[in-house]
């Protein structure tokens, strides 16, 4: 073998090794808060029930905390077993007289995301009511932190 072949052979071997990894590492988990908003218009919001699902992507709920207004600062009610899946129903109510109206952040969900791409989340309002228990027409939407807030109508 000539000197040129001896010099090129190690480079060829190295380039083949770099092109085909021995094993691919799974993508690292990342955590992201997802904000849940309800707009009750001019009506005071006393109670709500919302279903949240991971519509696409690889994510799971790892925690839930309350929202901004004092009436919903405590974490909403939910089944802790639902944290293991990609679907959860949360609910909260307040019988006080300091109820919010309009657009309010009622909860924050903490998500563990993995895999390629960004998961997509969907929220469906199951119920909303005023302090006298009367149902109100309200809107719900979710906004993953770091993304543009999108209101669902």
- Structure confidence by residue, pLDDT tens digits, 134-144: 999 999 999 99
User: What average pLDDT does the chain have?
Assistant: 85
The 3-state secondary structure of the chain reads: CCHHHHHHHHHHHHHHHHHCCCCCCCCCCEEEEEEEEEECCCCCCCEEEEEEEEEECEEEEEEEEECCCHHHCCCCECCHHHHHCCEEEEEEECCCCCCCCCEEEEEEEEEEEECCCCCEEEEEEEEEECCCCCECCCEEEEEECCCCCCCCC
- Which has more pLDDT, 32 or 2? 32
Q: State the pLDDT confidence band at 6, using cuts at 50, 70 and 90.
A: low
Measure CA of the first residue to CA of the last residue in the chain; give whole Å: 74
Q: According to the model, what pLDDT value does residue 81 have?
A: 87
Q: What are the residue ranges spanned by the domains of the chain?
A: 30-144
Rg (C-alpha) for the chain, rounded Å, is 24
- CATH architecture of residue range(s) 30-144: Sandwich (2.60)
The pLDDT tens digits of the residues spanning 24-46 come to 666 689 999 999 999 999 999 99
């Amino acid at each position: 073998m000539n000197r040129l072949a001896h010099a090129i052979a190690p480079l060829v071997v190295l380039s083949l090794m770099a092109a085909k990894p021995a094993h691919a590492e799974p993508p690292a988990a990342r955590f992201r808060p997802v904000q849940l908003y309800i707009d009750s218009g001019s009506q005071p919001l006393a109670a709500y029930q919302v279903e949240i699902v991971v519509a696409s992507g690889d994510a799971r709920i790892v925690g839930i905390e309350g929202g901004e207004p004092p009436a919903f600062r405590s974490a909403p009610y939910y089944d802790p077993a639902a944290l293991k899946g990609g679907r959860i129903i949360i609910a909260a109510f307040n019988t006080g007289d300091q109820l919010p109206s309009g657009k309010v952040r009622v909860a924050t969900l903490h998500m563990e995301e993995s895999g390629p791409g960004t998961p997509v989340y969907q929220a469906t309002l199951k119920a909303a009511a005023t302090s006298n228990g009367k149902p109100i027409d309200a809107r719900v939407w979710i906004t993953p932190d770091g993304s543009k807030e999108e209101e669902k109508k």
